[in-house]
Amino acid sequence: MDIEQPSHFRPSKGDFRWEAVAHQPYKQDGSAPFKDISRQVLFHEDSLGCELRYFEMDAGGYSTLERHEHSHAVMILRGQGDCLLGDEVYPVKQFDLVTIPSWTWHQFRATAGEPLGFLCMVNVVRDRPQLPTEEEFTRLMATPAIARFLERS
Ligand code: MN
């Protein structure tokens, strides 16, 4: 048996952690704004062309407001909060599904006083996320629901 290969069975350790899965900071480079969020890559399968990650933010935490060419398929796995998607803000809760199309602004926020965790499927090969310019941010803020969402911090 080749011990260099990752195990094909990695049991849950409970509390949204898994054996042989590294618990990492959300982003390594620190170049984009985010708060109190961690990342675990559950699957990275070149044969499938996709990765499945689990992101979790503490109460009050949030992911980066960004957009990019690649898409995401998200399932909320823990807790509840809010999700900005395009021109809308959606309340999200455990097992809700969110599809994030190409070039659509998105951000998750743990707004319910509890952790918010979600599975996120994404292409292995993908473009780098864009952050809003000042002009784009101003345009987003023109929608009242989005302004209320973004002003929480
Ligand atoms: Mn994204």
Q: CA distances (Å), 112 to each of 62, 128, 150, in order?
A: 12, 30, 15
- Report the alpha-carbon distance of residue 149 to residue 153 in Å, rounded: 9
Give the model confidence (pLDDT) of 100-122 as tens digits: 999 999 999 999 999 999 999 99
Residue 150 CB partners (closer than 8 Å, separation 6+): 65, 84, 107, 140, 141
Q: For residue 117, give the nearest of 63, 89, 77 by alpha carbon.
A: 77
Q: In the predicted model, is pLDDT for residue 4 greater than 60? A: no
Distance 51 CA to ligand 1 centre (A): 13
Determine the distance separating the centroid of ligand 1 and the alpha carbon of 106, expressed in angstroms. 7
What is the Cα–Cα distance from 73 to 106, expressed in whole angstroms? Answer: 12
pLDDT value, residue 58:
95
Q: How far is the CA of 4 from the centre of ligand 1 (A)?
A: 31
pLDDT, residue 5, reads: 61
Report residue 134 as tokens.
């000042």
Question: Exposed, middle or buried by CB within 10 Å (0-12, 13-18, 19+), for 8?
Answer: exposed
Strands 35-45 and 50-62, sheet pairing: antiparallel
Which tens digit of pLDDT belongs to each residue from 53-107? 999 999 999 999 999 999 999 999 999 999 999 999 999 999 999 999 999 999 9
From the list 100, 120, 140, 150, the catalytic residue is 120
Q: Which CATH class is domain 19-150?
A: mainly beta
Query: Does the annotation mark 83 as catalytic?
Result: no
Every domain of the chain and the residues it spans = 19-150
Residue pair 146/84 in contact by the 8 Å Cβ criterion: yes
Please write the tens of the pLDDT for every residue from 23-60.
998 876 667 888 899 999 999 999 999 999 999 999 99
pLDDT at 1: 46
CB 94 within 8 A of CB 79: yes
